Amino acid sequence: MKFINPYVFAVATLLMVSCSSKKETLSLKDAYKNDFYIGTALSADQIQGKNTKEDSLIKKEFNAITAENIMKSMFVHPQKDKYNFTLADKYVAYGEKNKMFIHGHTLIWHSQLAPWMEKIKDSTEMKAFMKDHITTIVSKYKGRIGSWDVVNEALNEDGTLRKSVFLNTLGEQYLVDAFKLAAKADPKVDLYYNDYNIEDPAKRAGAIALIKKIKAAGGKVDGVGIQGHWRLASPSIEEIEKSILEYSALGIKVAFTELDITVLPNPWDLKGADVNQNFEGSEKMNPYPKALPDSIQNKLAERYASIFKLFLKHKDKISRVTFWGVHDGQSWLNDWPIKGRTNYPLPFDAQLKHKKAYDSILQLKAKKE
Ligand code: 9MR
């Protein structure tokens, strides 16, 4: 038998191991580490690490987190004089333990309000609520949370202000007040305005006007959160690019905060269809209950690739890209706008296996570096 130098053998083995482990540890967060944070939204179970497989996937792939629900007002502030921070504390501790960027979602939002908040009718009471709510929560996590969605979804599709309980009681001043209160409670934390469809021209113009007004009135706005609940064919890359450019021209950061791409038919796209019609249980509206056909899997991968290609082009303007959920099985899009469907909007499937979309996002970096 030929003599093998044990030293050469050891080095070769080491090299093989390190190469293969390098391949194995390749992840979204590592691939994009010099570009922007890659985040995910965590459910209450994920915050508590209940599923070990999901937990290792989260730690491997993501370096930023958002609480999908547990920081919303109905959960943290269920009664006027009562806060419940049990899960929020666990969420922040989870991020710290894993050295992740921690985002706060969300302070002022018309949805998922506690019932007592819905009953607020006058400006004095609403002012007191906002002061107490924002100051208590932001101060509690001062220095530990990196950014907050201060106001969420204040706009209608045409760019006008949504008639929320906040607008009805305080007028548009509530927007300025919210940002001022948050900055006072933690002067260093980044403050965002977060909304969906604000890459569409009319709503985008409304968002730009709103951010300018808040800033002109002395509010601190550090960034805009474009949620990114998108479709395979829309919005166009051109509109997304225009949005990145126009928002960053305001001197603020751009984050994509709730990215997912639905592959299912939308009842509102069916021209002439009655949206009140009951689509639940309809096979036509739930075409892939068992698996996603390759042709659509490929389309999803191509769509993610073109979106991330654009993000990379503007990485100097983008602070964070967060997927709305860890895997397809968790996505809110399985139940909206029609309950009980099977959707495939994320880079990981319901079995936690990475999809072609994941590969296409990683591939962009492999080509570059
Ligand atoms: O994903 C969230 C879902 O579990 C909740 O039921 C829903 C309640 O409104 O909120 C979802 O998250 C929303 C986010 O907080 C704000 N932007 C839109 C998201 C999808 O509805």
Q: Are 192 and 224 in contact, with CB atoms under 8 Å apart?
A: yes
Nearest-CA residue for ligand 1 atom 10 is 69
**What is d(CA 72, CA 108) in angstroms, rounded to the nearest whole number?**
9
Tell me the sheet residues that pair with 224.
Answer: 193, 254
**What is d(CA 275, CA 282) in angstroms, rounded to the nearest whole number?**
14
Nearest-CA residue for ligand 1 atom 21 is 332
Average pLDDT over residues 79-107: 98
Tens digits of per-residue pLDDT, 196-213?
999 999 999 999 999 999
For residues 323 and 366, which has the higher predicted lDDT (pLDDT)?
323
Pocket test for ligand 1, best of 40, 69, 224, 338 (most atoms within 8 A of CB): 69
Residue 245 CB contacts under 8 Å (≥ 6 apart), including other chains: 314, 317
Average pLDDT over residues 90-111: 98
Return the pLDDT at 277. Answer: 63
**What does the block give as tokens for 150?**
């201060």
- Mean pLDDT over each residue of the chain, to the nearest integer: 92
Return the pLDDT at 2. Answer: 45
State which ligand 1 atom lies nearest to the alpha carbon of 332. 1
Q: Is the pLDDT score of 138 beyond 70? A: yes
Q: Is the pLDDT score of 169 beyond 60? A: yes
In one letter, which amino acid is 168?
Answer: N
Tens digits of per-residue pLDDT, 4-53?
555 444 444 444 434 444 445 589 999 999 999 999 999 999 999 999 99
Distance 37 CA to ligand 1 centre (A): 21
Tens digits of per-residue pLDDT, 271-295?
555 656 667 778 889 999 999 999 9
Pocket test for ligand 1, best of 45, 46, 68, 72 (most atoms within 8 A of CB): 68
Return the pLDDT at 17. Answer: 39
State which ligand 1 atom lies nearest to the alpha carbon of 106. 15
Q: Are 349 and 290 in contact, with CB atoms under 8 Å apart?
A: no
Q: HSE of 177 in the Cβ direction (CA atoms, 13 Å)?
A: 20
258 included as an active-site residue? yes
Tens digits of per-residue pLDDT, 225-270?
999 999 999 999 999 999 999 999 999 999 999 999 999 998 887 6
Distance 40 CA to ligand 1 centre (A): 13
DSSP codes joined into one string, 243-258:
HHHHHHTTT-EEEEEE
Pocket test for ligand 1, best of 332, 334, 335, 338 (most atoms within 8 A of CB): 332
Return the pLDDT at 25. Answer: 55
Start-to-end CA span in the chain (Å): 42
Average pLDDT over residues 138-148: 98
Q: What are the structural domains of the chain?
A: 28-368 (3.20.20.80)
State which ligand 1 atom lies nearest to the alpha carbon of 227. 17
Return the pLDDT at 120. Answer: 94
Catalytic, out of 258, 280, 283, 302: 258
Return the pLDDT at 9. Answer: 46
Return the pLDDT at 240. Answer: 98
Sign of CA dihedral 229, 231, 236, 241: positive
Q: Is the pLDDT score of 151 beyond 80? A: yes
Nearest-CA residue for ligand 1 atom 12 is 68
Segments in the chain forming alpha helices (H): 6-25, 28-31, 44-47, 52-61, 73-76, 86-97, 115-118, 123-140, 165-170, 173-185, 201-216, 237-248, 294-313, 356-368
**What is d(CA 149, CA 182) in angstroms, rounded to the nearest whole number?**
10
**Three-class SS state of 157:** coil
Return the pLDDT at 283. Answer: 86
Residues with CB under 6 A from ligand 1: 68-69, 111-112, 196, 227, 258, 332
Return the pLDDT at 276. Answer: 61
**What is d(CA 188, CA 251) in angstroms, rounded to the nearest whole number?**
17
Give percent of the chain with pLDDT exceeding 90. Answer: 86
Write b or e for each residue in 299-314: b if 16 or more Cβ atoms lie within 10 A of its Cβ, otherwise e. bbbebbbebbebbeeb
Phi and psi torsions of 334, nearest 5°? -75, -15
Q: Is the pLDDT score of 87 beyond 70? A: yes
Write b or e for each residue in 339-359: b if 16 or more Cβ atoms lie within 10 A of its Cβ, otherwise e. eebbbbbbbbbeeeebbbbbe
CA 184-112-193 angle, to 5 degrees, is 40
Return the pLDDT at 272. Answer: 59
Return the pLDDT at 274. Answer: 61
Return the pLDDT at 305. Answer: 98
Q: Is the pLDDT score of 320 beyond 90? A: yes
Band the pLDDT of 106: cuts 50, 70, 90: very high
Return the pLDDT at 18. Answer: 40
Return the pLDDT at 270. Answer: 63
Distance 136 CA to ligand 1 centre (A): 23
Q: What share of the chain is helix, strand, coil (3-state, %, to 5)?
A: 45, 15, 40
